[in-house]
Amino acid sequence: MADMCEGRVVVVTGAGRGIGREYALMLAGEGAKVVVNDVGGSRDGTGHDGGPAHDVVAEIAEFGGQAVANGDDISSWDGAGSVVKQAIDTYGGLDAIINNAGILRDRMLVNMTEEEWDAVIKVHLKGTFGVSRFAAAYWRERSKSGETNDARIINTTSPSGIYGNAGQTNYGAAKAGIASFSIIAAMELERYGVMVNAIAPTALTRLTEDLGLGGADEKTKAAMDPRWIAPLATWLASSQSAGVTGRVFEASGAYLAVAESWHRGPTAPAIDDPTKVDEVVRKLLADARPNSDMFGNDKKS
């Protein structure tokens, strides 16, 4: 094992499979003590199976790492608090959380049900908030008592959230919210020694295999392996990332990038006459960059 994260206590939600599993394995391989959280549900969030989390813990134990399994539902208030408490009770502290748990309920807007909307928002957005809130409270109390923190919150956004993808208004809205949440939380928590960042991964997992990625050729699949995301998450969870906060990163087997947030574009003086809006706004739109495509590039006209 290496030692980039030696002795650091890290909670990883949704760590039983896919990207989260790769996070847990690499963090443990770099010396972290990992709480492997996963309810073991299906990709739409239904069901419960403790097996995946325990399987990852067993893998970590095989190479001499330290990890414990956790099956709490982090989309619930009690579950979010419980996973943080388990880390502190088991290992005597907490240094980083990676909010990775997620589900999909894709549907075009006109057909989406209330339940499909609520379920996705609850797991992604509320789950990120809940675990972050309990961890932040722990770090704030440490700071107030005179102790120092070298803490991290690493959230999971998505190209669907920062760039957009048809059929995912629920998922994209949650992921866009997580990107903004990360930027604002970074502003609030830096005083307590907490760095907050987000990763927008592109990878082939059970969540994405039926979105056109499952039929990709072997070279593309290799570039989409979720292991490519883990080095960035591991670095962000380590002490090496000190001072890096409030940023959204993109990661895949093809690139590592920093996503640039909203910036004010072409601007005109304020208008108080509605009959003059059309001409001015159309000129602004003509001068503005178009919205990006799913890959963060300008859409072709």
Sheet-wide strand order for 248-251: 66-70, 33-37, 9-12, 96-99, 151-156, 194-201, 248-251, 256-259
- Which residue is it, tokens 């923190």? 149
Q: Which of 161, 201, 164, 168 is nearest to 183 (CA)?
A: 161
Q: How many CB atoms lie within 10 A of CB 111?
A: 8
| Mode of pairing for the β-strands spanning 256-259 and 248-251 | antiparallel
Active-site residue numbers?
A: 171
Nearest alpha-carbon partner for 182 in 86, 103, 259, 91:
259
Q: What is the dihedral of CA 10, 14, 15, 19, to 10 degrees?
A: -110
CA atoms of 271 and 277, how far apart (whole Å): 7
Give the pairing of strands 9-12 and 96-99: parallel
